Amino acid sequence: MNKILHLITLALLTANGAVLAEETLPLKSVNKANEVIDAALAAHGGEENLTNLNSLVQESTLVTYATNQSRLPNPPWDKGKQSSTNAIDFEEGVFFNRTAGSGGGFEFDAATVINEEDSWQLDYRAGTAAPISEPDLNTTAGPFIRVTPALLMKQLQGRRQQSNWLGIADFDGRPHDVITLVMEVGPALALYIDQESHMLTRMERVLPPFGQVEYRFEDYTMVDGVAFNQSFKLLLNGDDNLDISNARPLVNVPVEQYTRVASNLEVIDAVVPDDFNLQELDEGVFLVGGNGAYGLFVEMQDHLVAIGGTQGAADRLKEVRKHIPDKPVRYGVLTHHHSDHVPASADYAKEGATIITFEPNQELVRAAAGDDSVKLAFVEDRMTLGDGERTIELYDIGPTPHAEQMLIVYLPEEGIIFEADHFPQPRTGPLPPAVSTTLAFVAALEELDLEYSKVVGAHSSRVGTPADVSSVVLKKPATQSAGAL
């Protein structure tokens, strides 16, 4: 954002050294934005064609880069391949997205249908259809609109009075006007419009905690009088994150077929909010969390061991302290190096705890802790934490398709296993068929020969059993290959 603020200042100072009293800076910025928008709308097909663009079907292939989500803690990041179909109809208020592919040891083929009270979350691989109780067209269609210049132009048409001109910036050696677009949901977007061609070539938004997201639109072609980009690139803090290549879009075709739920899908319970909650799995053993981020806390004689690194550890600890008010956290155990499994490092560091991880992750964990002098201990293969009364065993089950090194936690006395990202357990409904990473987890459990009665994970409040674990291995995916759409 600094760059943009700098641009505003520079542009306004140099271009408008003598601002007329009646044309205030905000007014000038809005007027200039409108000039830029008029030229851009004309270049992308014209007001009329864009107004008449009511429905759109776009098939694409995607290459994803698993930034901070790869098997190793450092680049080059693992690539994944996906195929997707997006369909939108503004008059009908319908949006459809289906994405299939694999990455991180997961195979998937899933869709979202937004169609007022007939909205669904479909999992073709699991063979299930879950109603969406609170469908939100703007939020769900946002990612598709943001990668589709023609739809961004429609947004500019409707929301031009909220746009500001930020200034002029060079991109690819060409001067661009930079204007803002504030959509119904999400942070403001900065659109770079080429001063000569008036085409949208680049867009930026700042999305904490990820950082700067940059969109690049390339290879425009005209379809039914409207400009569509044939390829697209997304960069995250300057690094490749996503490459999309688009098939020729279908303009103003009916999208009704996409709203139908295939009859072979089993209708399951609606997806409901994951409210913050605490469960005592055994005496002094707490599974705490909500909103897809959970951690395990184990009470020892004179301290606590906090397990799992997802965000929200401070809130989880606060909840545990209602039960165990006076014991410090001595160890914070991280399962693996992925960006959503290290944020708790900062909370554990503040507690003065020793963070347990793998040696190759140390730099990353220090950064996540925001404290170079944080105490670290490294697991090699396995480690035992004990105080004579209670034992906690840590095992590296890596390499798995998800991560080179992956810690699972085992409480032998209580028969409890805590894992992350290897045994997905939706909070309700049937467990999905095993993905590659689940098979690796199951093989590791067999090899370690751990006796357990409960298996819990970093992303769910559901408490699984050994029978659950064996059942997912036997389940066949409802779709044969994840790539087939």
DSSP 197: T
Taking the complex as a whole, the smallest distance from the CB of residue 462 to Zn ion amounts, in Å, to 18
User: Toward Zn ion, which CB reaches closer, 330 or 341?
Assistant: 341
Site map 319..338 versus Zn ion, x via CB under 5 A = -------------------x
User: Toward Zn ion, which CB reaches closer, 61 or 339?
Assistant: 339
CA 141 to each of CA 108, 136, 453: distance values in angstroms, whole numbers, following the listed order: 20, 8, 42
State which of positions 111-140 bind Zn ion (CB under 5 A).
none
User: Toward Zn ion, which CB reaches closer, 361 or 479?
Assistant: 361
Taking the complex as a whole, the smallest distance from the CB of residue 84 to Zn ion amounts, in Å, to 22
Name the phi and psi angles at 289, rounded to 5.
Answer: 155, -160
Cis bond before residue 360 (omega within 30° of 0) = no
Taking the complex as a whole, the smallest distance from the CB of residue 96 to Zn ion amounts, in Å, to 28
Q: Which residues of 94-127 are buried (b: 16+ CB within 10 A; e: fewer)?
A: bbbbbbbbbbbbbbbbbbbbbbeeebbbbbbbbb
User: Toward Zn ion, which CB reaches closer, 338 or 390?
Assistant: 338
Cα distance between residue 276 and residue 289, in whole Å: 5
Taking the complex as a whole, the smallest distance from the CB of residue 362 to Zn ion amounts, in Å, to 18
Helix (H) or strand (E) holding 138: helix 137-146
Helix (H) or strand (E) holding 91: none
User: Toward Zn ion, which CB reaches closer, 396 or 421?
Assistant: 421
Could you tell me whether strands 391-396 and 304-307 are parallel, antiparallel, or unpaired per DSSP bridges? unpaired
Residue nearest to Zn ion (CB): 338
With 0-12 / 13-18 / 19 or more C-beta atoms within 10 angstroms meaning exposed / middle / buried, residue 64 is buried
Q: Report yes or no: 132 and 116 within 8 Å, Cβ to Cβ.
A: no
Residues in binding contact with Zn ion, number by CB under 5 A: 2
For Cα atoms 55, 57, 58, give the angle at the middle one, nearest 5 degrees: 140
User: Toward Zn ion, which CB reaches closer, 204 or 421?
Assistant: 421
CA 377 to each of CA 276, 332, 361, 367: distance values in angstroms, whole numbers, following the listed order: 30, 10, 11, 15
Taking the complex as a whole, the smallest distance from the CB of residue 357 to Zn ion amounts, in Å, to 14
Taking the complex as a whole, the smallest distance from the CB of residue 236 to Zn ion amounts, in Å, to 17
Using CB under 5 A as the binding rule, whether residue 71 contacts Zn ion is answered as no
State which of positions 419-478 bind Zn ion (CB under 5 A).
421
Q: Provide the token pair at 294.
A: 């959970």
The neighbour count for residue 467, using CB atoms within 10 Å, is 7
Q: Provide the token pair at 117.
A: 């009270």
CA 161 to each of CA 157, 183, 394, 477: distance values in angstroms, whole numbers, following the listed order: 9, 12, 57, 49
Site map 402..421 versus Zn ion, x via CB under 5 A = -------------------x
Cα distance between residue 356 and residue 362, in whole Å: 10
User: Toward Zn ion, which CB reaches closer, 105 or 426?
Assistant: 105
User: Toward Zn ion, which CB reaches closer, 214 or 421?
Assistant: 421
Taking the complex as a whole, the smallest distance from the CB of residue 336 to Zn ion amounts, in Å, to 6
User: Toward Zn ion, which CB reaches closer, 4 or 440?
Assistant: 440
Taking the complex as a whole, the smallest distance from the CB of residue 341 to Zn ion amounts, in Å, to 6
Amino acid identity at 391: T
State which of positions 337-356 bind Zn ion (CB under 5 A).
338
Taking the complex as a whole, the smallest distance from the CB of residue 337 to Zn ion amounts, in Å, to 8
CA end-to-end distance (rounded Å), the chain: 39
Provide the binding-site residues for Zn ion, judged by CB under 5 A: 338, 421
